[in-house]
Structure 1
Amino acid sequence: MTGVVLGLLAGLGLWLVVDRVAAMRRPDFEARVLRHLPDLPHTGLRPDLPRRGVVDELLGPVMRGAARRLESVAGGSASITRRLQRADLDLSLADFRVQQVVWGLTAFAVTTVGALLVASRAPGRAVPLAVLCAVAFVTGVLLRENRLTAQVRRHERAVLTELPAVAELMALAVAAGEGPVAALERVVGRSRGALAGELTRVLAEVRTGAPVARALDDWSRRTGLAPVARFANGLAVALERGTPLADVMHAQAGDVREAQRRELIESGARREVFMMVPVVFLVLPTTVMFAFRPKTE
């Protein structure tokens, strides 16, 4: 009778595991429909589109479920969405959460391997090692978010570097007789970089029927840089009120170059302070030590 009961319990547990795995692998209605629409524009539903791969077919529903649980626990979706827009990444919030889960699982797996090696020699440390593995998972999740912040800084730095040249090119195109939209298309078509990608999005909104001023206002609200916001606002005001666009572009380029010059001077002043650290804490103590060291015959 004991064997029968144990067999029934084992069979029931196995059936529950199989049923749960099948439910986790079953795609929802949106995923079944969106997989047949590869040309669908990037929307909030786009991350649920399954990738064409065996690994994703097996682990995709599990990873998306873990990403939803992480979203419910971590929160901060508005801040992350804002940073994804500022970094100009073709990722949605769901995609980013999946990447956070992957980073956390990678850190957890690496830490678990080391923990198992240590636990095989010292079984009494199992509980602290388990806590360390959990901390490694959280650290991996936070590292992906820090990586996103670094991507935002790098993208904004590239945009500021390219802004004066793009403004001068637009001023030359407008002075040659082209309209604002035509000048923007010419500059974007012959430019490569972070700012060109931002302007490509603005042109895409204009081609879909949005007014140029509204597309520029949306770009101004989306960006996190004051010079870029002034550039977009100045361009929108020039288009609405008939201000000479070439003069506005030249003035914008001059303002950005002046701001970059001030930032370079401030950075140089900060680096001078950092350069004093090895002098004060390394060179000066060594000099004093040799000065007061007693002479030996």
Structure 2
Amino acid sequence: MRGWGLLLGALAGGGVLLILARLRAIRRPRLAVRVLPYLRDLTADARAPEPAVGMLPPVVAGVFGPPLRAGADAVERILGGAASVRRRLERAAVPRTVHEFRVEQVLWGLACFGLAAGYGLLHSLHDPGNAPAGLVVCLVAFVFGVLARDSWLTSQVRDRERRIVAEFPAVAEMLALAVAAGEAPIAALDRVVRRSRGELSADLARVLAAVRTGEPVAAAFDALAARTGLPLVARFASGIAVAVERGTPLADVLHAQAADVREAGRRELIEVAARKEVLMMIPIVFLVLPVTVVFAFYPGVLGLHLGMS
């Protein structure tokens, strides 16, 4: 027993020394970081720092960063679609790069892998012969976690665009009233952004910030039209850009767009109700109707029993 204690103590001490040495190496600036900023003949790609590792703490990112980056690169090579991911990140207003999103996918996959491995370990205590099946389940869980993060990003985009559509009529009406009252489009936009809260207001605030930093108004709204995934917001941004460039009336256009969105919302609500008509009949057929039948026939059945007795 004493020999096993010495061996375990030596292993624990060696592990602590390795961790301390790694932390010291992490805190020391790398030679490339100190030298590359002073080399002007290198390309921008050669000077670029290593991509960040999600939202992990610096110490954890320093220790597990290289394998996570390698995993993210492998996921990118297998799945591809970096342009689609970047587009959806912009539409969902998620402050992540494509590489950070791939790292998050790897983390989700590792979390699902850990859960499946824990369940498989508990199950193997009762049935040790199922190890290959458990390994397959762990791999499937990893793939499921990676794809689940991508699916959740799509869900984030859908939810955000639904909120934008819900608040668009109010924002468009406020902007139209401000323009009709005599304010310039940019001043009216500033008033609307300061008075409203929401996803569309956040997008308009970014447009306003770009205009204030010197970007042309039409270019800022054209960028918003190219960035959004909603046709109504693209028409809204293009209409404001054209109005600013050519001086065309803007209030009537905004009122018409708000009315069109409200009408489209009513049509969509009617269509959803028509598609779910069968589902709406389920509580009536299986709950209300049986109760009504029981209340209608039970007194007669009770009277028959009393008459027969």
Alpha-carbon contact 1:220-1:229 (below 8 Å) kept:
yes
Residue 90 (str. 1) matches residue 77 (str. 2) = no
Q: Which residue of 2 aligns with 1:78?
A: 83
- Hey, what does 2:115 align to over in structure 1? 110
- Kept after mapping to 1: 8 A contact 2:92/2:160: yes
Matches within 5 A, 1:115-130: 115-130=120-135
Match for residue 10 of structure 1?
none
Q: Which amino acid in 2 is paired with 1:153?
A: R
Aligned to 1:48: 52
Secondary structure of 1:115's partner? helix
Contact map agreement 2:53 2:65 (CA 8 A) in 1? no
C-alpha contact 1:107 1:137 (8 A) present in aligned 2: yes
Paired position in structure 1 for 2:6: none
- Deviating above 6 A after TM superposition, structure 1's stretches of 4 or more consecutive aligned residues are 24-28, 30-34
| 1:31–1:48 CA contact under 8 A, matched in 2 | no
CA distance in 2, matches of 1:267, 1:158: 17
CA separation of 1:27 and 1:65: change in aligned 2, threshold 3 A: farther
How many angstroms does 1:91 deviate by?
Answer: 1.1
Look up the SS of the partner of 2:232 in the other structure: helix
Structure 1 stretch displaced more, 260-269 or 59-68: 59-68
RMSD: 3.5
Q: Which structure 2 residue ranges, 5 or more long, are not aligned?
A: 1-13, 38-47, 295-309
Please identify, of 162-171 and 207-216, the stretch whose mean Cα deviation from structure 2 is larger.
Answer: 207-216
Identify which of 167, 171, 176 aligns with 1:171. 176
Deviations 1:159-211 (A, max 9, x none): 01111111111112212222111111121122211111111221222223221
Separation of aligned partners in 1, 2:162 and 2:31: 41
Give the structure 2 partner of residue 38 of structure 1. none
Aligned mate of 1:133, from 130, 138, 152: 138
Change over 3 Å in CA distance of 1:72–1:91 after alignment to 2: same
The correspondence of residues 53-64 of structure 1 with structure 2, limited to 5 A, is 53-64=58-69
Query: May I ask how many residue pairs the two structures share in their alignment?
Result: 262
> Is 2:209 the partner of 1:219?
no
**Residue 274 of structure 1, CA deviation:** 2.5
Q: Give me the whole-angstrom Cα distance separating, in 2, the residues matched to 1:220 and 1:87.
A: 15
- After TM superposition, the structure 1 stretch with the greater mean CA deviation from structure 2, 131-140 or 52-61, is 52-61
The separation in 1 between residues aligned to 2:267 and 2:53, in whole angstroms, is 47
1:247 is matched with 252
- 2:71 maps to what in 1? 66
Q: Does 1:189 align with 2:189?
A: no
Using the TM superposition, give the Cα deviation of residue 241 of structure 1 relative to its aligned residue in structure 2, in angstroms. 2.3
Conserved? CA contact 2:53–2:68, under 8 Å: no
In structure 2, what is the equivalent of residue 264 of structure 1? 269
* More displaced 10-residue stretch of structure 1: 49-58 or 235-244: 49-58
Which amino acid is the alignment partner of residue 178 of structure 1? Answer: E
Give, in whole Å, the separation in 1 of the partners of 2:106 and 2:34: 20
What letter corresponds to residue 226 of structure 1 in structure 2? P
Mapped partners of 2:157, 2:49: distance in 1: 24
Alignment CA distance shift 1:91-1:30 (3 Å): farther
| Contact 1:167/1:252 (<8 A) preserved | yes
Q: Which is further off, 47-56 or 267-276? A: 47-56
Structure-to-structure mapping, 1:272-283, within 5 angstroms: 272-276=277-281
Identity %: 52
Write the distance in 2 (CA, Å) between the matches of 1:210 and 1:139.
43
Deviation (angstroms), 1:122: 1.6
Q: Distance in 1 between matches of 2:193 and 2:49?
A: 29
